[in-house]
Structure 1
Amino acid sequence: MTKTRLYIARHGKTMFNTLGRAQGWSDTPLTQEGERGVQELGIGLKKAGIDFDQAVSSDSGRAIQSMGIILDEMGLAGKIPYRYDKRIREWCFGSFDGAYDGDLFFGVLPRVFQIDDFRKLSLMEMAEGIVEVDTTGWAESWEKLSKRIKEGFEAIAKDLEAAGGGNAIVVSHGMTITTLIYLIDPKAVEELVLDNGSVTVVEYEEGTFTIKKVGDLSYRQVGAQILEEGHE
């Protein structure tokens, strides 16, 4: 059987990413820079010659917009099955959705835990801290959050495996991808920063994920070089 692999890309840079706002379940479109970044990614993936059998994104507009550009650049739009899965959405920040990152991560969360730097917190602590300060009741507990993310990515992998294996291109979100990586290997998220348009590759076999690459920007870099050469 062919190996089952998910190529999980973080969506392109958005207005809120640029403004330093926590996006969560709220949404803003890609900026011109963001569109260029995922265009580079699509070109790089095509150059790599990877055969993709399925495409899946979260149901957030920024992920859908990113996937559209990637599929266009790979020449796969309308040629492979594409669906949305709300389980691979970003974390919900509740009443802090749309708030400045600085207010939440450098202000509120450190105060909740009485620490000087939110980066000392585990993902579980961050999730529970957000639930504690959320006034809407929308933020998810770590148990609920990690369960829906794990189930979302597992469903994609199981579907692909059942069809004989192969590769899926997946577009998701920074903290969601980080959570998946953590659930596979907690040590792999230490000092981790996932750039927009980076690719994390996981392999799935007999109910278990294995990490192959984390936050890989090489596809974007190849695509950027091809775009530059084309404009000379």
Structure 2
Amino acid sequence: MRLSPARLCLFTLFLAPAAMAADSTPDIEIYIARHGKTMLNASDQVQGWSDAVLTPQGQRQAISLGRGLAKHGIHFTAAYSSDSGRALQTARLVLAHNGQARLPVRTDWRFREFNFGSYETAANQTLWQAVAAQQQMSLAQWLQQVTPKAFADTVAALDKTRQKTGSDTWPAEDYAAIQHRLRSGMDELISQTRQSGGGKVLLVSHGLSINALLDLLLPGQAVATIKLGNASITHLRLQHGQYQLLEVNDLRYVADGQLPVGASLPADSIAPPTAAE
């Protein structure tokens, strides 16, 4: 979804005076991509810090995204990714098919998906039903009004009652913990990009975490509840100390870069990444 100039003013964040940039500060554009479809997506299982490789469809989505970005003349000065394999695999495929295979991907755990603790790899419906019941709603009611904050905080509370003593499972994160790591990761990304002269940055992350980033950078806006498609682009610009949301859940790059019908996947797209740069 692209935003009209009239709506852009609604999605602008004025930073605190201490963080305001001078006019000479370089502009930064951040293209935030959700990873391609994974095997756990396909089986409708909870996928937070747990990981799964991209499906053939997910690989095609990432390749198509790279091809579409190239068709639109979008090239990056830097690339970042969550350290989850599905995000890194997506980032590498995007860059390989955007003509930037040699651009290193900086992995950062702070851009991971929400951690769901003991609910990891459970059926999505199991988790959703538990959260809806905790909030004394039907599943249909809950799905109509769920927010990232309410979801994360309820899962964290439920997970505390399910964790076993001495369990090796990481506990589910509440929303404050999630936003703290996302803010820290974004602050570092912006600082490094400014030092390098600005430009366009690719960031590959996850559906809920991207929504939480929008909630963090553009607080109170309804865009934070939009369900994001695999390989969609959410496009932010940081200019003169202001964040502007230019696109959200934009799938036109995938559409414009679609592989020909019947085309086989390139051989180098099959294997998941084995190591992070």
TM-score (normalised: structure 2): 0.77
Matched residues, percent identical?
A: 36
- Please state how far the C-alpha of 1:206 moved relative to its aligned partner: 5.2
Alignment partner, residue 102 of structure 1:
125
Please tell me the residue identity of whatever aligns with 1:121: V
**C-alpha distance in 2, partners of 1:170/1:32?**
22
Q: Which is higher, the Rg of structure 1 or of structure 2?
A: 2
TM-score (normalised: structure 1): 0.91
Moved more, 185-194 or 149-158: 185-194
Aligned pairs, number:
227
3-state SS in 2 of match to 1:183: helix
Moved more, 122-131 or 203-212: 203-212
Structure-to-structure mapping, 1:1-232, within 5 angstroms: 2-78=26-102, 80-105=103-128, 107-116=129-138, 117-119=141-143, 120-134=145-159, 135-136=162-163, 138-185=171-218, 186-189=220-223, 192-205=226-239, 208-224=242-258, 227-228=259-260
- Please state how far the C-alpha of 1:68 moved relative to its aligned partner: 1.3
C-alpha distance 154-210 of structure 1, shift in aligned 2 (>3 A): farther
- Please state how far the C-alpha of 1:210 moved relative to its aligned partner: 2.1
3-state SS in 2 of match to 1:74: coil
C-alpha distance 52-111 of structure 1, shift in aligned 2 (>3 A): same
Moved more, 15-24 or 130-139: 130-139
3-state SS in 1 of match to 2:65: helix
**C-alpha distance in 1, partners of 2:229/2:27?**
26
**C-alpha distance in 2, partners of 1:16/1:203?**
32
The answer to whether the 8 Å contact 1:6/1:157 transfers is: no
**C-alpha distance in 2, partners of 1:22/1:57?**
20
**C-alpha distance in 1, partners of 2:72/2:125?**
38
3-state SS in 2 of match to 1:212: strand
Moved more, 115-124 or 88-97: 115-124
3-state SS in 1 of match to 2:176: helix
Deviations 1:72-102 (A, max 9, x none): 1012122x33210110000000000111111
The answer to whether the 8 Å contact 2:215/2:224 transfers is: no
C-alpha distance 188-121 of structure 1, shift in aligned 2 (>3 A): closer
Please tell me the residue identity of whatever aligns with 2:252: S
C-alpha distance 167-230 of structure 1, shift in aligned 2 (>3 A): farther
3-state SS in 2 of match to 1:228: coil
Structure 2 segments unaligned to the other structure (5+ residues): 1-23, 164-169, 264-277
Where in structure 1 do 4 or more consecutive aligned residues deviate above 6 Å? none
3-state SS in 2 of match to 1:37: helix
C-alpha distance 230-74 of structure 1, shift in aligned 2 (>3 A): farther
C-alpha distance 230-15 of structure 1, shift in aligned 2 (>3 A): closer
The answer to whether the 8 Å contact 1:25/1:92 transfers is: yes
The answer to whether the 8 Å contact 1:5/1:203 transfers is: yes
The answer to whether the 8 Å contact 1:9/1:171 transfers is: yes
Please tell me the residue identity of whatever aligns with 1:174: G
**C-alpha distance in 2, partners of 1:153/1:191?**
20
Specify which structure has the higher proportion of helix. 1
Deviations 1:121-153 (A, max 9, x none): 332221110111113461112111111112212
C-alpha distance 63-191 of structure 1, shift in aligned 2 (>3 A): closer
C-alpha distance 159-104 of structure 1, shift in aligned 2 (>3 A): same
